[in-house]
Amino acid sequence: MLVLKSLSLGPMHGYGIGQRIQQLAEDMLQVEEGTLYPALYRIESRGWIESEWGVSENNRRARFYKLTRSGRKQLAAEESDWQHLSAAINKVMQAT
């Protein structure tokens, strides 16, 4: 979900996605950066994102990922799921 969310702002390469997730999460989530890539490939195999070679801001060849239409749908679905879930959890937590 985080990957999809970060790509909803526009196409980006792997490094950038990692950065964006860190920014979005305000450095609360820290992972081994490399593990991002198998995750990216898996999401790509589901068809939610696409990739192609492009040129990065510092003029180097880099692989750019962008959200597909079904990816956008998936993001919306996951967002609403997440909101339902977190709302439910919130309710439970507030009840006590």
Largest CA distance in the chain: 55
Among 9, 15, 25, 81, indicate the residue that binds other proteins (CB under 8 A): 15
82 binds other proteins (CB under 8 A): no
Binds other proteins (CB under 8 A): choice among 8, 62, 66, 78? 62
Sequence-distant (≥ 6) Cβ neighbours of residue 75 within 8 angstroms: 1, 4, 5, 8, 48, 67
* Contact residues for other proteins, defined by CB under 8 A: 13-15, 18, 32-35, 37-38, 41-42, 44-47, 50, 56, 58, 60-63, 70
